[in-house]
Amino acid sequence: MIILTALQEEIPTLYKESNVFVTGLGKVNAAMQAMKLILGLRPELVVNFGTAGSVSVEYSQELVECTGFMQRDMDCSPLGFDKYVTPYEKGHHLIGTPEVVCGSGDSFMTESAELPSAGVHLVDMEAFAIAKVCRDLEVPFRCFKYISDNADENAGDDWSVFEHAKAEQLFIEQLATFSYDI
């Protein structure tokens, strides 16, 4: 098993473990690192952990396992394609199942009014990219996000004062339930 996170700050103690890797921010960095690590290490499982903003009243300041992933910043609607769908690509725009959907994009969300109607519950900047690499390379993937903010005008301030150690501890407790060693 390998664990991927965007920033060392999100895993203040776990980053020292040999199977924990920091990808950097955004979908491109996450995809590049996931691809390199999967091809090089051949893990039996990839786990993504990090913070996320909530766009749903259902989730606030808790650890959530995401079941579905989509690109919240894919918009080719001026060309006649549905929003969030990558044109000319096989497969559905949602990877996984719709119970808890994480919408990934290369921006820090401060305005997310339309996302709940698209079935999005949380927003981040990496999970979709990692999920897509795992799907295409046929590696099992799990994703846990701790809600750090409400993806609103206060999101930046909320994330800046967020207690990452508290979130990491809940993630470590979740990892203890896995049948894989960390």
CATH code of the domain covering residue 97:
3.40.50.1580
CA distances from 118 to 22, 82, 146 (A): 29, 11, 21
Q: Is residue 32 part of a domain?
A: yes
Q: Strand 141-149 and strand 46-54: pairing?
A: parallel
- State residue 124's pLDDT score: 96
Tell me the whole-structure pTM to 2 decimals.
0.92
Q: Is residue 180 part of a domain?
A: no
Domain with 7, as residue range(s), is 2-175
Distance (Å, whole) CA 84 – CA 11: 30
- State residue 132's pLDDT score: 96
Q: How many CB atoms lie within 10 A of CB 69?
A: 31
- State residue 164's pLDDT score: 82
- State residue 180's pLDDT score: 58
The amino acid occupying position 123 is V
- State residue 162's pLDDT score: 80
Q: Is residue 182 part of a domain?
A: no
Q: What is the mean pLDDT of each run of 10 residues along the chain (182 residues)?
A: 94 92 97 98 96 88 94 94 89 91 89 83 96 97 91 79 85 83 50
Cα 49 to the center of its chain, rounded Å: 7
- State residue 32's pLDDT score: 98
Q: Is residue 142 part of a domain?
A: yes
Which backbone phi and psi does 104 adopt, to 5 degrees? -100, 145
Q: How many domains does the chain have?
A: 1
Q: Is residue 181 part of a domain?
A: no
Q: Is residue 122 part of a domain?
A: yes
Q: Strand 46-54 and strand 68-71: pairing?
A: unpaired
Q: Is residue 112 part of a domain?
A: yes
Q: Is residue 22 part of a domain?
A: yes
Picking from 23, 88, 99, 7, the residue whose alpha carbon sits closest to that of residue 59 is 99
- State residue 19's pLDDT score: 95
